[in-house]
Structure 1
């Protein structure tokens, strides 16, 4: 069974040392998340890909293969509704990869009903941030997630 209960407890990471990947197909949402990660949270590294396929291609790219620590991410912000494979499918693939056992994987979605969020929790996500992301709360949520706190942003 795959789920949060079967994953090692994530380590606490200071934002200035954190490596974050955003998997998001909406350019505006992606740009806002990256801007906030860089300017308000001040993470050490952040990048984005528009789909799970693009993310896995990046993982096997020469850039990451030559510098494996680049692919050792502390946090993945994963949109639920992305092209080809949805966020749940990408999550399942990540859960079986040893390099991601300690990576926090947080869902980002406009689907924010209690039922939707409970489905995300049951699937094994480590948290949920509602979209559109809030300029006021998003930076604080990310810092808290990196400190090991589970955030379930339900309106």
Structure 2
């Protein structure tokens, strides 16, 4: 099992939105960064655990967790001309973009803020601190446990 951090803008889609889904799960799509795409396509697997990170809000930080319920597959939005994520260069034979399905697991009692993460020496090697803009990031098992401890667990 691997651990990941997925970034989202909560005014577009939040951890609470995921929790509110009738099945508690949703497609994590719309990723249009090649490095993140490669991780979704090649590395993220069913059963992997995810930190959900809210960006472009106050406070920015980790709000809770999810689990991958379907590994990477071609993002259907790239083929839909009506979608904001349509890509005319993509085809069924040669998809350009990938997505995953995740399900809600827990909401943290409080957000573990970016400032908290940056001030924590045990998290100095976290990808979030070195490459903050990447929407899909690996997280080490130690980082996963440390972020959970900082949040006071999940519910």
Structure showing the higher helix proportion among its residues: 1
TM-score by length of 1: 0.30
Q: Which structure has the bigger radius of gyration?
A: 2
Structure showing the higher strand proportion among its residues: 2
